[in-house]
Amino acid sequence: MKRLVLFFFFVSNVTIAQTFLTESGNVNFLSKAPLSEFNGVSYKLYGLIDLSNNLLDFYVDLNTVETGIGLRDKHMRDNYLETEKYPFAEFTGQMSSIPTLNPGSETSVRAIGKFKIHGVEKEIEVKGTLTKNLKGELELDAVFEVLLSDFNIPLPKLVFYELAENQSVTIKATLKSKKL
C-alpha cells in the first residue's frame, strides 16, 4: 500500500511539472502599410503550455493593446476590433510533436490550432521556439501572420489611420511550472 501511495505521489508531481503558466507575456503586432508603420503591444498575455496533454492556450485582452497614440488606440478598439463585443484574442492548439526540452537549449516548435479574434475562429500554424531555462521555466518566442480580412476586421479608409492588411504578431513569454 505504501508503494502505491508513493507511485501516485510521483506520477502526480510529474504531471504538475509538465504544466507551465504565464500571466505577463508580451504580444506585439506590427502594421507595416506603405504610408504608416506602427506597433501595438500588450504585456498582459495569459497562457498555458501543458506538455503532458500537448495543449497550448493563450489569450490577451485586446483592451490592453497600446500603439503609443491614445486616439489611434481608441479608434482601433471601437471601430475595428470592437473590443466591447469581442474583448479577447485567443489561440488554442497543439504542438506537432512534444519537444524534448534540455535546460539551456532552444528547440524549434510548430503548433496548429484555432485562433479567434473579432468573433471569427480560424485554424492557423504558429512557429516558434521553446527554451527551458536554468530555473526550469519555459521561454516561448513565436511569430505568426494575421490577415485582417480573414477575421472580418475592416481596414480604415482615412489615410492617416492607414493599417496593413497583413499583421505580423510576435509573442514572448516566460512560463513558470504550475504548483498546486
The CA–CA distances, whole Å, from 68 to 38, 40, 42, 73, 151 equal: 9, 8, 11, 8, 24
Total count of domains within the chain? 1
33-49 core/surface letters (b: 16 or more CB in 10 A; e: else): beeeebebbbebbbbbb
As averages over each run of 10 residues, the pLDDT of the chain (180 residues) reads: 38 58 93 78 96 95 94 89 96 92 91 97 96 94 94 73 81 87
CB 92 within 8 A of CB 114: yes
E strand or H helix that includes residue 5: helix 2-17
The pLDDT score that the predictor gives to residue 158 is 60
- Cell 492607414 appears where? 162
- Write the CATH number for 61: 2.40.128.110
- Cell 481596414 appears where? 155
CB 160 within 8 A of CB 140: no
The residue range of the domain holding 59 is 2-177
The pLDDT score that the predictor gives to residue 34 is 67
Q: State the alpha helices, DSSP H only, in 39-180.
A: 70-75
The pLDDT score that the predictor gives to residue 162 is 66
